[in-house]
């Protein structure tokens, strides 16, 4: 009997460890080809179609629309077609000089990678890459994909059973151990172990893994939970009658009313996808970054008149955001402290990391929530080139087709909240960046010009910055630089 091949949800990149299954493009019993889209998933970064690395008949769909699937968990099982399965069986057959040993099966239908000089989890990942098509996710492929027939079972392994016959937990399965924790951690761990640590508030950076090469296993997290400070025991000398148990407050009554307010609950919306990422990132920014805010009103009349004059001459004219982006990149060159990031080492020491280049992020509102695409190498672009890239990234973000690379990697963020009709906002820094510049709406206001009142086009600029990397002098200098460029745009726009 031909065993189905199990395709695990691949590594999505950018530290993403899970995805929501939006819809299936295939059904059980369908015949599919290599690289045929089988499902649409939504990550915290974007919505992407997942192509199949295998050809054959769909045997099982592991999940329903709306469910969240961890990286490394089964997505779909495919039974190879006749000719492909024969070729795969020949490929998987052991040599005459080597005895055939049945592989150690895992809960995911895979097998333990054969022993080698390298780590077993790395071998397992390489074996899956060899079986892939080279096009696992848009922008994230596996090497060696040429559409050829692949082996339908993992290589035979000779594994010495040194431990008692005990069910091996899925989270210790090497086929799952192939994603890295973003940031300071270098140990490879299972998404399930990572979730367990997150749910119990365990800092993985404080754990020494007991697995090969310091691999963090489920037992390590459980040990950390056992050694955590236990709940205070009641004083044995205290009379039993004096001990008062805190009443348990029901979260919700059976009638569907909120126990705290007494109001009927109209709806419950799971926090996931982009909203979940925004919530987590903003909470982390507020808790970790000692931020400060400075702001200034700016006379944007000259900039508005410049655009109108360019329009009158015909041709494509950059938007106001592109002009301001051009001023921001020039300002960051002069004040590079705001184009940095703070990294914390395992021993608690910190470093300010400076960059040779600017990836300018800009906030874009979409139907899926607020996202921050970034213009790579923004300091090299003219205002027209910035405008074209901002428009392109905004469109792919709103279509839900932006790649994780396009929605990450920013070094400074520009936020044009003036489009919502507001004047100012003390924005939250987009962690792990150290600064964000907000631009309010441009409106007519009375303004003193050469000692006389006049009606001018005025906007408010607001800079929120990480006080660990610079002081008010640097922040104020950068803000004043951008403000002066808006008031006298021709000084910086010779290249437009």
CA–CA gap between residue 363 and residue 334 (Å, rounded) = 23
Q: What is the largest CA-CA distance in the chain?
A: 98
The neighbour count for residue 277, using CB atoms within 10 Å, is 19
| Residue 62 falls in the annotated catalytic set | no
CA–CA gap between residue 186 and residue 449 (Å, rounded) = 58
Residues 6+ apart with CB under 8 A from 390: 319, 321, 322, 325, 362, 375
Torsion angle, alpha carbons of 194, 195, 201, 204, to 10: 0
Locate 409 and state its tokens. Answer: 């990697």
CA–CA gap between residue 487 and residue 300 (Å, rounded) = 5
CA–CA gap between residue 69 and residue 62 (Å, rounded) = 9
CA–CA gap between residue 487 and residue 323 (Å, rounded) = 12
* DSSP annotation string for 127-149: HHHHHS-S-SBTTB--TT--S--
The neighbour count for residue 115, using CB atoms within 10 Å, is 12
With 0-12 CB in 10 A as exposed, 13-18 as middle and 19+ as buried, what is 308? exposed
Annotated active-site residue in 25, 200, 431, 467: 467
CA–CA gap between residue 307 and residue 429 (Å, rounded) = 30
Alpha helices in 201-300 (DSSP H): 218-227, 273-288
The residue behind tokens 């599919």 is: 32
Give Cα 482 to chain centroid, integer Å. Answer: 30
Locate 84 and state its tokens. Answer: 């492909």
CA–CA gap between residue 341 and residue 352 (Å, rounded) = 6
Return the axis-axis angle of helices 472-487 and 320-334, rounded to nearest 10°.
Answer: 140
DSSP β-bridge partners for residue 32:
56
Rg (CA), the chain: 28
Enzyme catalytic residues = 467
């Amino acid at each position: 009997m031909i065993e189905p091949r199990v395709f695990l949800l691949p590594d999505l990149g950018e530290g993403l460890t899970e995805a929501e299954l939006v819809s299936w493009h295939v059904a059980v019993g369908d015949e599919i080809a290599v690289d045929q889209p089988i499902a649409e998933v939504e990550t915290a970064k974007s919505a992407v179609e997942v192509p199949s690395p295998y050809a054959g008949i769909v045997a099982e769909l592991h999940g329903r629309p709306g469910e969240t699937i961890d990286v490394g968990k089964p997505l779909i099982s495919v039974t190879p077609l006749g000719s492909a399965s024969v070729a795969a069986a020949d490929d998987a057959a052991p040599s005459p000089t080597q005895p055939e040993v049945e592989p150690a099966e895992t809960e995911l239908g895979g097998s333990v990678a054969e022993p080698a000089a390298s780590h077993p989890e790395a071998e397992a990942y390489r074996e899956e890459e060899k079986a892939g098509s080279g096009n696992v996710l848009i922008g994230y492929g596996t090497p060696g994909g040429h559409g050829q027939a692949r082996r339908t079972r993992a290589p035979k392994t000779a594994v010495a059973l040194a431990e008692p016959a005990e069910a091996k937990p899925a989270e210790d399965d090497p086929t799952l151990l192939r994603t890295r924790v973003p940031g300071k951690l270098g140990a490879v761990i299972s998404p399930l172990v990572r979730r367990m640590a997150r749910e119990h508030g365990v800092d993985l950076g404080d754990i020494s893994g007991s697995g090969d090469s310091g691999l963090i296993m489920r037992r390590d997290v459980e040990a950390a939970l056992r050694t955590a400070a236990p709940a205070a025991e009641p004083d044995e000398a205290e009379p039993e009658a004096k001990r008062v148990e805190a009443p348990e407050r029901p979260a919700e009554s059976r009638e569907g009313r909120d126990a705290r307010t007494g109001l009927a609950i109209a709806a419950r919306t799971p926090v996931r996808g982009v909203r979940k990422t925004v919530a987590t990132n903003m909470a982390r920014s507020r808790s970790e970054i000692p931020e400060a805010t400075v702001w200034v009103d700016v006379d944007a009349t000259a900039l508005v008149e410049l655009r109108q004059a360019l329009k009158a001459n015909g041709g494509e004219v950059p938007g106001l955001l592109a002009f301001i982006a051009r001023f921001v990149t020039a300002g960051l060159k002069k004040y590079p402290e705001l184009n940095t990031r703070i990294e914390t080492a395992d021993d608690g020491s910190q470093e300010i990391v400076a960059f040779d280049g600017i990836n300018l992020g800009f906030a874009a509102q979409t139907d899926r929530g607020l996202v921050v695409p970034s213009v790579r190498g923004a300091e090299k672009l003219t205002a027209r080139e910035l405008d074209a890239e901002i428009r392109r990234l905004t469109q792919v973000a709103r279509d839900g087709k932006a790649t994780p690379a396009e929605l990450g990697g920013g070094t400074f963020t520009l936020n044009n909240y003036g489009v919502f009709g507001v004047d100012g906002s003390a924005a939250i820094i987009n962690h792990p960046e150290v600064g964000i510049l907000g631009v309010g709406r441009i409106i007519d206001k009375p303004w003193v010009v050469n000692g006389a009142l006049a009606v001018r086009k005025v906007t408010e600029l607001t800079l929120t910055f990480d006080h660990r990397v610079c002081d008010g002098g640097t922040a104020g200098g950068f803000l004043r630089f951008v403000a002066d460029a808006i008031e006298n745009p021709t000084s910086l726009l010779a290249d437009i």
